[in-house]
């Protein structure tokens, strides 16, 4: 079972430290740590991979003189996943690949 300090550190490593916006419960984080033999870096890599999957469908938008480069979210999440994977002692996290879909405007 992970300590509060361990869970807090994992949350900081993955940008999940705000209790109002976190996507992961303590139980889910503990399960990830158990699956990765308590390797914080490998667990963080997996979380960033899941975030990248979430961001894969976002598109860049421009409206009213303002633009949002949502594709940057995906690129950043993949960079973080690769970083934490590279400093892990345990090996490589495998994640599912993202998909690309045609955008339909309504």
| pLDDT given at position 61 | 84
Residue 97 lies in a domain: no
Residue 73 lies in a domain: yes
| pLDDT given at position 67 | 83
Residue 102 lies in a domain: no
Number of C-beta neighbours around residue 85 at 10 A: 20
Tens-level pLDDT at each residue, the chain (106 residues): 789 999 999 999 999 999 888 899 999 999 999 999 899 999 999 999 999 999 988 888 888 888 888 889 999 999 999 999 999 876 555 555 555 556 666 6
Residue 12 lies in a domain: yes
For 55, the token pair is: 């961001």
Structural domain range at position 26 = 4-86
Q: Look up the pTM and report it.
A: 0.76
**CA 70 – CA 61 distance, rounded (Å):** 8
| pLDDT given at position 1 | 77
Domain count, the chain: 1
Residue 59 lies in a domain: yes
């Amino acid at each position: 079972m992970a300590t509060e300090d361990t869970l807090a550190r994992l949350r900081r490593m993955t940008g999940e430290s705000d209790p109002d916006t976190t996507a992961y419960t303590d139980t889910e984080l503990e399960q990830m740590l158990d699956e990765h033999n308590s390797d914080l870096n490998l667990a963080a890599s997996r979380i960033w991979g899941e975030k990248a999957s979430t961001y894969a469908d976002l598109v860049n938008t421009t409206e009213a003189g303002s633009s949002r480069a949502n594709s940057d979210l995906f690129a950043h999440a993949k960079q973080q996943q690769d970083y934490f994977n590279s400093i892990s002692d345990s090996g490589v996290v495998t994640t599912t690949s993202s998909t690309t879909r045609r955008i339909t405007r309504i």
